[in-house]
Amino acid sequence: MTQTFVDAAGLAQIDRDRSAMIAEAEGRAALQVLEKLGDDDWRRPTDCVEWDVRTLVSHLVAQCEDNISLRTMLRREIAGRRRHRGKGPIDAHMAAQVEDHTEASGPDLVAEFAELWPRAVQARRSRPGLMRRANLDTGMPTAPRVSVGHLLDTIYNRDLWMHRIDLARATGQTITVGDHDGQIVEQAVRDLALAWSEAPIALELTGPAGGTWLIGSGEPKAVIRADTLHYMRALAGRDPDVALELVSGAESALAAARRARILF
C-alpha cells in the first residue's frame, strides 16, 4: 500500500492543559446550540432513546455538578444503584442525575449550564495525580478499564461533543465543526485502536475533523472510508447501520468496523 496511515494506538493521550482548552472551545460550541433552543424544542426526541431535549440538557447540567462536587457524584452513584437496580452502573447514575432536575425549565437549565461548565472544566483540571491514576470499569464488555485521568481529560469532552450533535440533529440545527473537533475525534480513534482486537484496518474519515489512521497492529487488511461524524455516532451506538465504503481489502472488515464501540 502506498498511502501512509497514522498509527492511532500510538497517538499521545492529551494532558489536562490541552483538555481544558478543548473543553472551553466545546463549551462555547455547545452553548451556541443550547441558546437557539425554542419553546417547541424541549420535548423533541433525541438519539438518546430515553431522553428528550430537556432531559438531555438536564444530564449536561448534572454532569457539570458531578465534576465540581465529588460529594454530589457519590450521592448520585448510591441513589442510582438503589433506585435503578435493573440498569448498569453508568445508566443508573445518569438516571439519578436526571431525577435531580425534573422540575427545571429548559431555559433555566441552559443558564445553569452556561454558569457551571467553566467551573467543571477547572475542577477536572485540578484533580490530583493520585486520583487520576485510579482505574474504572466502563461497564462495556468490549472496552478496557479507563483511568480517572482519561475520564476527566477525554471522555467528558467527548460526551458533551456527542450530545451537541444529538441536540443539533433533534432540533434541525447545523452541526458546526471547529479546530477542537478534530482533537476530540483523534482521541476517539485512539481509543478505538487501543480496544481493537480484529484484523488491522486503515480507516479514512472524511469531511471536517477527519483523518487517516491505522487501527490495529500490522499491515492493514482493508481500507474503509466513512464520514467522520457519522462514524463517531456509530462508535457511540447511535447508528449500527452506518454507511461504510470498502475501498479495498476483506469484506469482513466492514462488519468489524460497524460493531466497534467506545465509551462516550
pLDDT in tens, 29-48: 999 999 999 999 999 999 99
The domain segmentation of the chain, as residue ranges, is: 13-179, 181-259
pLDDT in tens, 127-167: 999 999 999 877 666 666 889 999 999 999 999 999 999 99
DSSP line for 129-197 = HHHHT-EE--S-TTS--EEHHHIIIIIHHHHHHHHHHHHHHHHT------HHHHHHHHHHHHHHHHH--
**What pLDDT is stored for residue 145 in this prediction?**
80
- Distance (Å, rounded) from C-alpha 26 to C-alpha 24? 6
**What pLDDT is stored for residue 4 in this prediction?**
79
**What pLDDT is stored for residue 68 in this prediction?**
97
- How confident is the model over 81-104, as a mean pLDDT? 92
The fold of 181-259 is Nonspecific Lipid-transfer Protein; Chain A (3.30.1050)
pLDDT in tens, 62-75: 999 999 999 999 99
pLDDT in tens, 170-182: 999 999 999 999 9
pLDDT in tens, 168-213: 999 999 999 999 999 999 999 999 999 999 999 999 999 989 999 9
Helix (H) or strand (E) holding 116: helix 106-126
Percent share of the chain, pLDDT over 70: 97
CATH number belonging to the domain at 13-179, selected among 1.20.120.450, 3.40.50.300, 3.30.9.10, 3.30.420.40:
1.20.120.450
Indicate if the pLDDT at residue 2 is higher than 60.
no
* Dihedral in degrees, nearest 10, Cα atoms 20, 146, 194, 156: -30
Indicate if the pLDDT at residue 57 is higher than 60.
yes
- Distance (Å, rounded) from C-alpha 118 to C-alpha 125? 11
57 Cβ contact partners less than 8 Å away, ≥ 6 residues apart? 34, 37, 106, 109, 110, 113, 167
